[in-house]
Every structure is written in structure tokens, then in C-alpha cells.
Amino acid sequence: MTSPNGTRPLDDIRVADFSWFGAGPIAGRTLADFGADVIRIESEAKVDGLRHGEPVKPGKTGLNVCAYFNNYNADKRSFLLNMAVEGSREVAMRLIERSDIFLSNLTPRVIDRWGLTYEELCEVKPDIIAAYSPMQGLWGPHRDFLGFGAVLTPTTGISHLSGDPDRRPVGVGTNYPDYAVNPGHTVVAILAALRHRRRTGQGQRVELAQIESVAATMGPSLLDYTANGVNQTRKGNKSSWMFPHGIYRCADDPSGRERWIAIAVGDDAQWESLCAVAEGAEFAANDQFATLLGRRRHEGDLNAAISSWTASFDAASLAIHLQSVGVAAALVQDAEDMCEHDEHLAERGFYEYLDHPETDISLYDGPTVKLHDTPGYLAAPAPLFGEHTFEVATEILDYTPEEVAELTASGVLS
């Protein structure tokens, strides 16, 4: 989907993206979706680990085939710059001078070593918007701690609350903060800084400590502790105010895959609607479940009874039926469901398929926000490793081909 004239709201913005792995590049991908020219700084000396990651199509090898990396780096340019080589900082500063936004999720230790602090960037680009999102922030006793989403989930208390109460913490199964919370907060802050610059002409430093960004999602448990002295712990799929609230086994699909349904009932009216759908089921006529308090007191029996009832149903059809009467319910989907069978995502055109030179036609997430007048869209697949080094060096940095050759021979560029 494109706007009538093909423009996007950030078409005049350039980003010097010095981030890597997840949170930083995903923020950059969002800016790219809406037109920003995102130049991804990479290095042969220390290749982004996601280029070595998975999933990879069978038979494909190399630095350009990881679907994880490609999905979050679509519509960017790859520029190989080795910051460990003498002369590289001059090139970096030349790019920053010609950019609007500097983006990094590296530790402050690396930023200091490379000479890319906000004060130093302002020497060449006074109105630069410099967005730093290290895991623990730019200052504090843990400023140089390393980590990824899998480290942030335990550090911020999420793992403590995830899993069954009688088992060890399990986290959430993915590097959840990297995909949504941290890049989302970073993008909002960058857009606010851009608006401020357009009104005043002044740039500024944006600091997003990922630990604080994620901690902001933990409000209810923190308030429960500060207000009530209750240190919440794992409770599986249970809710403190919704009964039933769980995942229930349904009939296997024709291929033998397990199928499950999520059901959540928040009040007696919803319960009555559930019982109407389940007419004849034992729990629908059981008076001990007739009130919210009763369902809470007998939650174990309630979950067992609902599991017995759902066991013979097609999960997707049952979920739609329950939704039609006002009961929150959903099929527990897997990747195949979302990519191949989810009619809602398909109708909205969320997933896009782009032709990549090494992975062929591959699936990419579409823009996660839809603007009516100036919608974002994907203009190109993820870049090959170093694909745009010469292009950026000559067209943006104004080096001659001979100078690019010298920088390449010295190891500054690749």
C-alpha cells in the first residue's frame, strides 16, 4: 500500500544506524518503513550475530540468508566500516554530518572508545538527534553490562512472573522487549525530537535505558508490592479477576496437530453467554460456578470442566462462536496459522513478500502502524552484506572512487 504520490512522511530523513542485533535495528526498520534513508553500519571484523542466525531456507548459506536479520533490516542500506581501524572515525563523522539521526544500542564503553558521544557528534552536526539505547543506560553502576532481550526479561522481573507457580521461571519464549517495547519507545522519542527540531532548529540527545523501558511494562506488579506489600509470583495462565482465564485443549486438526483455545471471562454476563454456547455441558448448570466469587473459589474444578467440554471442538470455529456472543476467545495460533490461515491478517495485508537476491521470495512483516494519508510500505528487501558501501561513500560522503579504493585498502571500508 502506498500513498497516491508515493511519498512517505520521513522521506527527507537520513539515519546513521550504528546499532546491531534486535532493539536498535528494529527501531531503524520502523523509520525505514516510513521513508527514512537508514544506512546500517556493519563491519567484517565483527559481523552482526543475527546475520549468522536462523531461520534459514534449506540449502542457503552465508551472511545474507537469515530471515530474522532480513525481516528487521528491510529497506536499509548496508555500509561496511571498521571502527577499529585508524581513519574510520573520520568517515563515521562524515556520515553523521550528513544525517539527521544517529542510532545506537551499543554499550557506553564502545561509544566512548569510538568517540561517538553526543557532545562529540554535535561538533560536526549541532542539530543531530542522537538516540542511544544501551541495555542499562548511559550512566549508573551497570552502564556497561551486556545483554539481550533474554537478559532483560529476568532483570526486569518478567521471568519471575512467567510460568507455573510450582516450576522455575521460564521467561516469555522470545526476546520480547527487543521486538516491541524498546524499539517502540525509541521511535516515539525520536519522532518527538524531530518535531522539536523542526520547531526550534535544535537537536538533542535521546537516551533510552532498555531496562527502564521494559520496567515500565511491569506497573501492576510493582504497584501491588508498593501498595499492598504483595510480591507477585508465577501463576501460569491464571488471572486475579477473570474466571475462567486459561488455555484449553480442543480436538486435534486433521494432520494431528494439537489445537488449543484461549478463553477469558470477566463478568457474570460473559459467563452466561459462555454457558449458553455450552448448553448441556456440566459446568453450565453447576450453581457453584454461577457467580464470579464461586468461579474463583472453585477455579480448579472449573478449568477441568471447561477442558472436558472443549476437547471435542474445532478450536478456530469455537473461538469465532464465542466471540460472536461477547466472550473473549482465540485460537492459540502457531506460525503456520498466522502465515497461511489467518484470514484477518491476510485481508489486512500485513505480511509482505519481497524478492531477495539470495533468499528468493520471502516473507517480511509489514509496517505495524497504518497512516491514512502517508502510509508506510516496504520498498526493498534487506541489503546484502556491504551492498551499498561504494554507493554511500561516493554519493553521500562525496569520496572519489580513488579515495574509496584507498580507504578499502587501509581496512577502513570493506
For residue 259, what is its C-alpha cell?
Answer: 489445537
DSSP string, 50-65: GGG-S---TT--STT-
246 touches 238 (CB < 8 A): yes
H or E, element range at 26:
helix 23-33
Dist CA 396 CA 404 (whole Å): 12
Look at residue 5 in the predicted model and tell me its pLDDT. Answer: 57
Dist CA 286 CA 293 (whole Å): 14
Residues of the chain above pLDDT 70, percent: 99
179 touches 30 (CB < 8 A): no
One of 33, 37, 48, 178 is an active-site residue; which one? 178
Q: Give mean pLDDT, residues 381-395.
A: 98
Q: At what angle do helices 315-324 and 268-277 cross, to 10 degrees?
A: 130
Catalytic annotation present for 224: no
DSSP assigned state of 248:
E
- Per domain, the residue ranges of the chain are 14-217+350-409, 245-341
Question: Mean pLDDT for the chain?
Answer: 96
Q: Dihedrals φ, ψ of 55, to 5°?
A: -80, 155
Q: Which are the contacts of 22, defined by CB distance < 8 A and separation ≥ 6?
A: 50, 72, 148, 149, 175, 178, 179, 183
CATH number of the structural domain 245-341: 3.30.1540.10
3-class DSSP string for 58-92: CCCCCCCCCHHHHHCCCCEEEEEECCCCCCHHHHH
Q: For 14-217+350-409, which CATH superfamily applies?
A: Crotonobetainyl-coa:carnitine coa-transferase; domain 1 (3.40.50.10540)
* DSSP-assigned beta bridge partners for residue 204: 129
* DSSP-assigned beta bridge partners for residue 102: 16, 130
Cis, peptide link before residue 244, omega less than 30° from 0: yes
- How many Cα atoms are found within 13 Å in the side-chain-facing hemisphere of 194? 19
Q: Which are the contacts of 200, defined by CB distance < 8 A and separation ≥ 6?
A: none
134 touches 209 (CB < 8 A): yes
Dist CA 13 CA 28 (whole Å): 12
Write the pLDDT tens digit of every residue in 67-110.
Answer: 999 999 999 999 999 999 999 999 999 999 999 999 999 999 99
pTM given for the model = 0.94
Q: Which residue has the cell 512467567?
A: 162
Tell me the one-letter amino acid at 74.
A
Dist CA 3 CA 11 (whole Å): 12
pLDDT tier at 148, thresholds 50, 70, 90? confident
Q: Dihedrals φ, ψ of 224, to 5°?
A: -60, -35
For residue 303, what is its C-alpha cell?
Answer: 478449568
Q: Give mean pLDDT, residues 339-359.
A: 96
Do domains 14-217+350-409 and 245-341 share one topology? The answer is no
Q: Which of 228 and 179 is assigned the larger pLDDT?
A: 228
